[in-house]
Structure 1
Amino acid sequence: MKLGVTMFATDLAMPVQQLAKAAEERGLDSLYLPEHTHIPVSRRTPYPGAADGELPEEYKRTLDPLVALSFAAAATARLRLGTGILLAAQRDPIVTAKAIASLDLLSGGRVVVGVGFGWNVEEIENHGVPYGRRREIARHHVMAMQALWRDEVASFEGVEPAWSWPKPLSRPPVHVGGAAGPKLFAHVAEYADGWMPIGGRGIKAALPALREACEKAGRSMARVIPFATLATREKLDYFAELGIEEAVATLPSGPADEVLPVLDRYAALLP
């Protein structure tokens, strides 16, 4: 079982380069960083992670994940570098494809792209994206980036045939985050390498539907990477029984004296 970690990287949290170095030194496999470009103060959309809808402070202070991961790359040699979750509908695909390819090249092929659709209506709409179309737009952006990474002359809807270098050293795997369901599994089966369920609850019950979606698309079963889970020995053993080979554990968004003890506990779970 490979075990990675994720943390809200902010201006108040443990510096990313120090976190990345500490994770690699402890034998952890990956570091994933989330994305929120901004949080409109209207707060029309309640935060879904709390009963009172109150938004944690770190959401207002999140670093750009690709910039932050470049510092993590420079501080490490083998740690995989992931976005968790990149809000693909809110990003220009040409610029983002270039940034990801550059990071992958400079890091020696260590980038993993976790993508999602977003939940904060006003944040999404501020990017000119209608909330109801965010899945369709994210799909288009991801597939456009994949064409730019793959093809010598890339073309996709809305852009004339174009050159774009550098190419990634190895095709960055794309994993889609979100709750189980036919819409999400259709996205995974069409253009992604894996599914990143948040927390990990309900995975066993969802696996048959994911397998069916992949079979319908004529492809092999997608990987499953439980994301932002509170890792324990029992939980990791349960994931392994389901055939899952990788999980990503959550860290507090705080200074080193809060983060490192949790990192040590996770490292103790490694074989």
Structure 2
Amino acid sequence: MRISTTIFLTDETITPVRLARALEQRGYAGLYLPEHTHIPAERTTPYPNGGDLPREYSRTLDPFVALAQAAAVTRRLGLGTGVTLVAEHDPIALAKRIATLDHLSGGRFTLGVGFGWNKEEAADHGVDWATRRELTRERIGLMRALWAQAPTPYAGGHGQGVRASHAYPKPVHGGAPRILVGGAAGPTLFAHICAYADGWMPIGGAGLSRTLPELRERWEAAGREPGALRIVPYAVVPTPGKLAHYADQGIGEVVLQLPPGDEMTVLRTLDDFLPYV
């Protein structure tokens, strides 16, 4: 089982360079970073986990810039977003950013896709909350058109379109980087995974023995190759029993949650987690 990590990197935490080097030296498989462009000071959207919104949410580094630093000082470490709020981006510019990072890292990038929880943040990007999922689906389609080997046009129903274009670099492993969709289990989420992704990034990983059979059934019904589905539990607080349970479910990668702390705090946690590696 591959043991990866995630952390809210901020202007107050360990740096991307120091963390990436420490992860690779210790044999960790990957680093996934979350995204928030900003947190409106006045909002009515509650924090999904309850209580006050933690300080680090409003101080996150741009994940693509931070991952580019991590890529530059490592050779094997996987790099990913957990998650990119695709609806908040210009998809043409995002396609270029993703392809560039994947190219420069030698194909090490995984695109984690999310739909967000903060209505005010999305509204500042001009996102209609009710249609953000379909907007995300179309923007993924547009990016795939730009990543195609031959110039390919794309036209979606929410005004998302691009004419047949020359767009380089291309993702290293053909077509697109690995795409994982994050979110809570349900028919809508599973429909998105089966339509355009390579798998699911369930937050915390609870209840998989109940939800995975449904996703696998829908995956096969959509004509997808059964063995190609990837399940990557995300932001997991590890225990031996929990990881053994994931292994029994056929899961090959788990993303452990690191604290948003200074260098000493994070390195100590990496060492505490080493038995799982």
Work out whether the TM-score is over 0.5: yes
Contact 2:154–2:163 (CA under 8 A) maintained in structure 1:
yes
The letter of the residue matching 1:26 is R
The letter of the residue matching 1:194 is G
Question: 1:159 aligns to what?
Answer: 162
CA distance in 1, matches of 2:151, 2:37: 30
Runs of 4+ in structure 1 displaced over 2 angstroms? none
CA distance in 1, matches of 2:144, 2:77: 23
Q: Which secondary structure state, in structure 2, belongs to the residue aligned with residue 162 of structure 1?
A: coil
Question: 2:245 aligns to what?
Answer: 238
Q: How far did residue 235 of structure 1 move?
A: 1.0
After TM superposition, list the pairs within 5 Å mapping 1:209-220 onto structure 2: 209-220=214-225
Provide TM-score, normalisation by structure 2. Answer: 0.95
CA distance in 1, matches of 2:149, 2:88: 23
Question: 1:119 aligns to what?
Answer: 117
Q: Which secondary structure state, in structure 2, belongs to the residue aligned with residue 253 of structure 1?
A: coil
1:190 aligns with 2:195: yes
Contact 1:153–1:162 (CA under 8 A) maintained in structure 2:
yes
CA-atom RMSD in angstroms: 1.0
CA distance in 2, matches of 1:59, 1:23: 23
Q: Which secondary structure state, in structure 2, belongs to the residue aligned with residue 265 of structure 1?
A: helix
Q: Which secondary structure state, in structure 2, belongs to the residue aligned with residue 114 of structure 1?
A: strand
Q: Which secondary structure state, in structure 1, belongs to the residue aligned with residue 273 of structure 2?
A: helix
Contact 1:152–1:164 (CA under 8 A) maintained in structure 2:
no
CA distance in 2, matches of 1:214, 1:186: 9
User: Between Structure 1 and Structure 2, how many residues are aligned?
Assistant: 268
Q: Which secondary structure state, in structure 2, belongs to the residue aligned with residue 134 of structure 1?
A: helix
Question: 2:158 aligns to what?
Answer: none
Task: Pick one of 217, 228, 231 that aligns with 2:235.
Answer: 228
Q: How far did residue 122 of structure 1 move?
A: 0.5
Give a deviation string over 1:221-252, Cα, whole Å, max 9, x none: 32110000001221111100111111000000
Question: 1:261 aligns to what?
Answer: 268
The letter of the residue matching 1:42 is E
CA distance in 1, matches of 2:166, 2:9: 33
Q: How far did residue 149 of structure 1 move?
A: 1.4
Between stretches 9-18 and 140-149, larger displacement belongs to 140-149
Q: Which secondary structure state, in structure 1, belongs to the residue aligned with residue 83 of structure 2?
A: strand
Q: Which secondary structure state, in structure 1, belongs to the residue aligned with residue 220 of structure 2?
A: helix
After TM superposition, list the pairs within 5 Å mapping 1:1-271 onto structure 2: 1-50=1-50, 52=51, 54-157=52-155, 158-170=161-173, 171-221=176-226, 222-270=229-277
